[in-house]
Amino acid sequence: MLFFCSAIKAPSSFAITVPQGNSAGWRPLPARANSQILLYGSNCAKSPVQRSRTHRSTDGLVTIQVEGATAGAEYVVGIKYSAAELWGQSVTSPFPTVAYKLSTVVAGAPVATRLTASS
């Protein structure tokens, strides 16, 4: 299981996208479910300004539509990914180390992100 978190400062209405890629051309990490793609307020509660959320399985792109956010307010994007879904990916010996890169883009502008893993 992987948890992706990114703190953002909001414009009033916008889209958040989280594209991903990796160093080996492997299939993308899938979000556990759309219900695991969340926008939180600064109080750590699910934010009511989050509208639709989607995960595109072909390239892993996550999109969150936001409406009515307070401009300048801080929010946190939280996405739970399932590394177990990579089971069956072809590998050759010696076994590779594959780096996945996820980023956060708010209204077209990239922001700093972090990725943490837990077992």
Tokens of 95: 């076994």
64, 46 contact by CB (below 8 A): no
Tokens of 60: 């892993």
Q: What percent of the chain has pLDDT over 90?
A: 70
10, 71 contact by CB (below 8 A): yes
Per DSSP, 108 falls in state T
Domains (range + CATH), the chain: 2-117 (2.60.40)
Tens digit of each residue's pLDDT (9 = 90 or more) over 29-82:
999 988 999 999 989 999 999 999 999 999 999 999 999 999 999 999 999 999
pLDDT above 80: residue 114: no
Strands 14-18 and 104-106: antiparallel
Query: What single letter denotes the amino acid at residue 70?
Result: T
Q: Using only C-alpha atoms, what is the Rg of the chain?
A: 15
